[in-house]
Chain A
Amino acid sequence: MVVGDATEQIDLAVIGAGPGGYTAAIRAGQLGIKTILIDAQTSLGGTCLNEGCIPSKALLHAAEVIELSNEAAVFGLQFQKPQIDINKLRLWKEGIIDKLSQGIVGLCKSNQVQVINGQARFLNDQTILVNREEGALQIKFKHAIIATGSSIIKIPGLFKSPKDADSKPVLDSRSALQLPEIPGSLLIVGGGYIGLELGTVYAALGSAVSVVEMTDGLLPGVDRDLVKPLANHLSSAFKNISLNSKIMNIEDTGNGITCQIQDQTGALRNEKFDYVLVAVGRKANTEGLALENAMIQVDKAGFIQINNLCQTNNKKIMAIGDVSGQPMLAHRAMRQGIVAAEVIAGLPSAFDNQVVPAVVYTEPEIAWCGVTDIEIKTNGLKLDVAKFPWSASGRAMTLANTNGLTKIIYDPQTNLIKGVGIVGPRAGDLIAEAVLAIEAGLVLQDLANTIHPHPSLSETVAEAAMSALHRQARRAASPV
């Protein structure tokens, strides 16, 4: 490549090498499309791999082992308090990131995808300029996929002095995952899933974790039945959970953090913490892309608008993943990446998926897909709910963890599965069966009549379906 005003002619330029972008680029390569994958970071994989899903799950596994070793006392196994080598833990986590990131490089190579490191920006609707270390590169593209993801929202207004938002003891999800040290005390602002996952990690490592949440429960918007076992567990794992409470002010005193908290009665109190974690939302990464040069439209919230072929208002330019809106989840981006590449290749592809599953990797895990109990109540849907508590599951008993719950939301007219919610260990793995059931239009009988391994947690899905069928049978036998 020539330094300076070098120009490349390409079929497809993918901007952003997160799960959406690299999936799209690799699929395009497989389909014989000449593709360039551009990312501003040298380590491919985007937020998910470098500063999100993957490192947090590695640390959550460590936390799980610590928690299990504590809980093993119930069945007669006493362990010493674990010795935590935080440097080794950090290295192990970073090793996973490296390995996966190198894996993406390898996949790109084997599928003839050219990788370019630099910041991309549209010059017009057919040209991208990439600012590389070795000089600018102009790329003339036939198609482009914008997969630039999302980034953390900072709230300087929370701080007494706005510059405190960037001070060392103020963590966000990225810096918290870098594991600077194990704080003695940690305040988590907001009871959302990122805060609770990271709180779980730090609590297991030994920090006294406090949560301040504005609404009346953790994980606002998530089914209360599913949140309850988690809230119970966290009430003992965390030092303090303040609901209906508000952070009025945060100050870096140079000797830790002082925080003014208003409780539900309006009373104010000051508390001191070593660190504070602010994880309250993410915004679409469109800054610096110069979308206006390509005349790509964004909505009020800043997300690029797309149709079910992932096309923007310019059909040659697609957008996938977080930058294209909610739900901001890696697996949605990956499916969109496949669709976008196939649409460009002229294949009859479409993002026609019925549901996108959501998982909160706390202890216990929470996972759901499709219609939720909350939607039934708010929208007055004529759907029924069947629950199977894990206190009746043999497998849950042998895992010494019977606080889980599996619930199925179904249409009593047709028995179609409309939604499933699970709380308990490995809920994130168990939900896959439910996603397939809804995607394939299965009915209660399909789940109930399928042999599930015994004993296993997956049986709870079949059991919930059976209890729904029993209720249907009773109802049919005794007309109202």
Chain B
Amino acid sequence: MSFDFKLPDLGEGIREAEVLAVKVAEGQAISEDQILFEVETDKAVVEIPSPVAGKALRVLVKPGQIVVVGNVMISIEESGQTQIATPENISANVERRTNKQSTDKEANPTPHNGQAIAEAPIIATPATRQLAREMKIDLHKVPATGPGGKISKEDVLAYAESSNKQVPAIPGIAHSAAVANTLPDFAKFGEIERVPMRSLRRKTAQLMALSWSRRPHVTHCDEANITELEIFRNRVQYQDQVKKQGAKLTLTVFIMKAVALALQEFPEFNTSFDEQSDEIIFKRYYNLGMAVATERGLIVPVIKSVDKKNIFELAVEISEVAEKARAAKSELSELQGATFTVTNIGAIGGISATPIIHYPEAAILAVMKTTERAINKNGNLENVLIVPLCLAFDHRLADGAQAAKFTRAIIKMLENPRSFEKHLGA
């Protein structure tokens, strides 16, 4: 009996994935748990193993293709269950094959005779199917949310929106799609190349547009004198302790810790706004997202319970997590559940930034480039190390004074390294 393997539900909110690699060839024997595909979702690269043993009959996807949850990716003949060839099932197979052709080449009519098509049945009401036809949407591509994989009218509309299909005008709802599509013909002015907006880039674009357009952002900038902290941080015994575990004791580690502790004092920056119920959700846990620039784009792995972990533990975990993100090996669970995000762009440069809040959090802290500066201290010029900090926050959830105080609380810890001593760990 042949088994149609469909792209499984990959977890929270993931509806589609881009095929990066196909690891089997048609006709090849497959063992259970053998890796069939490598796919990239909005969040990570995932390897997909085979749930059954058998032989690959047909591979239905190619690298670069976007697959939606529920799409058939490969047809496998399960071993131990060889189909007995009877005239009926031979003719059924032939019919199925010809049906398949008809979808490939629409122009050619094929024996169909109004029989339900055997493969990948669409579960949707007749009215929904009609709507999809009107909107020229292939229901096979629409992610289903209903029981048993049923596609609702809302699923069709959501898919249309996400794929920028023209949605029939609904009074009262403005459609940005129409505006977004009115671009000049750039090719008139010189050579251009069009690259599809995919996976991570697309997800980032969606999230940023959502956050920026729906949240009143205010950015507050301040700076911390980390001269003493740098001496503290570079103490050989501390560095060695962390180095033993293959990690580095970076400035980010201290900033993360300081942020988590300051958040306990200023809980309004550890919230989300539930617009549907008009409530502020205060989170009593302190999971910090850490923006990591990777080859594929921006990834934000999450360090859980930063308040409860000591500096050395954090140093090791931050190194590991960043490494995994860069190697595109982050697991979905490691990318979810952040309450606040820190983005450190200081290694590249910059004196200030206006970061965009990582949806659906309340605030984000950008750490800029540390510079040496001479300051006047009691009439003497003194060389100090200064790191600018820029806090962007949702003004609906907090005010400027609170933001200034929150930032000062972080700075106070950073300027007084002894405050970290009790968090150093064994």
Contacts and interface: CB of A to CB of B under 8 A. Distances in A.
Contacts of B110: 305, 307
A242 interface: no
A353 B114 CA distance: 7
A452 B266 CA distance: 57
A313 B111 CA distance: 10
Contacts of A348: 130, 133-134, 136
A324 B114 contact: yes
Interface string A377-391: 011100000000000
DSSP majority for the A interface? loop
A98 interface: no
Interface in A291-321: 299, 303, 305-308, 311-313, 315
B303 to A, nearest CB: 37
Given A440-B125, A445-B147, A354 B116 contact: yes
A312 B107 CA distance: 10
B109 A354 contact: no
Given A303-B113, A313-B108, A325-B114, A352 B148 contact: no
B102 interface: yes
A325 B113 contact: yes
A409 to B, nearest CB: 14
A379 B148 contact: no
- Of the listed residues B123, B124, B151, the one surrounded by the most CB atoms of chain A closer than 10 A to its CB is B123
A378 B136 CA distance: 37
Contact of B111 (A299, A336, A378, A443): A299
Contact of B123 (A336, A350, A355, A416): A416
Nearest to A307: B109
Contact of B147 (A313, A324, A355, A415): A415
A414 B114 contact: no
Contacts of A306: 109, 111-113
A348 B114 CA distance: 17
Given A380-B1, A415-B148, A352 B129 contact: yes
A335 B113 CA distance: 12
A383 B7 CA distance: 21
A351 B125 contact: no
Interface in A435-475: 439-441, 443, 445
Interface residues of B, number: 33
Interface string B28-67: 0000000000000000000000000000000000000000
A353 B129 CA distance: 10
B3 to A, nearest CB: 10
B109 A441 contact: no
A162 to B, nearest CB: 30
B147 A356 contact: no
Nearest to B126: A439
Contacts of B383: none
A265 interface: no
B109 A311 contact: yes
Interface string B343-374: 00000000000000000000000000000000
B88 A416 contact: no
A356 B113 CA distance: 11
Contacts, number: 85
Contacts of B89: 378-379
Contacts of A80: none
Interface in A409-439: 411, 414-416, 439
Interface string A334-360: 011000000000001111111110000
B246 interface: no
Contacts of A324: 113-114
A416 B81 CA distance: 25
A354 B122 CA distance: 9
B81 A380 contact: yes
- Of the listed residues B107, B113, B149, the one surrounded by the most CB atoms of chain A closer than 10 A to its CB is B113
Contact of B116 (A305, A353, A416): A353
Nearest to B81: A380
Contacts of B107: 315
B27 interface: no
A105 B130 CA distance: 30
B87 to A, nearest CB: 12
A307 to B, nearest CB: 4
A27 interface: no
Contacts of B111: 299, 303, 305-306, 325
B146 interface: yes
A324 B114 CA distance: 9
- Of the listed residues B106, B129, B136, B147, the one surrounded by the most CB atoms of chain A closer than 10 A to its CB is B147
Nearest to B135: A348
B150 interface: yes
Contacts of A354: 116, 121
- Of the listed residues A311, A353, A441, the one surrounded by the most CB atoms of chain B closer than 10 A to its CB is A441
A347 to B, nearest CB: 9
A379 B133 CA distance: 32
A416 B109 contact: no
A369 to B, nearest CB: 10
B116 A411 contact: no
Nearest to B136: A348
A326 interface: yes
Contacts of B147: 414-416, 443, 445
B235 to A, nearest CB: 56
Contacts of B150: 441, 443
Contacts of A312: 109
Nearest to B124: A441
Contacts of B151: 441
Contacts of B88: 378
A6 to B, nearest CB: 32
Contacts of A351: 114
A441 B102 contact: no
Nearest to A328: B113
Nearest to A296: B109
Given A307-B102, A354-B121, 14 more contacts: A299-B111, A307-B110, A325-B113, A332-B114, A350-B129, A353-B116, A354-B116, A356-B114, A379-B1, A379-B89, A416-B123, A416-B147, A416-B148, A441-B125
24 contacts: A299-B111, A307-B110, A308-B102, A308-B112, A308-B114, A313-B108, A324-B114, A325-B114, A332-B114, A348-B136, A349-B133, A350-B133, A352-B122, A353-B126, A354-B116, A356-B114, A379-B89, A414-B149, A415-B148, A440-B125, A441-B125, A441-B146, A441-B148, A443-B150
Interface of A: 299, 303, 305-308, 311-313, 315, 324-327, 332, 335-336, 348-356, 378-380, 411, 414-416, 439-441, 443, 445
Interface of B: 1, 81, 88-89, 102, 106-116, 121-126, 129-130, 133-134, 136, 146-151
**Closest 3 interchain pairs by CB?**
A414-B148, A441-B123, A325-B113
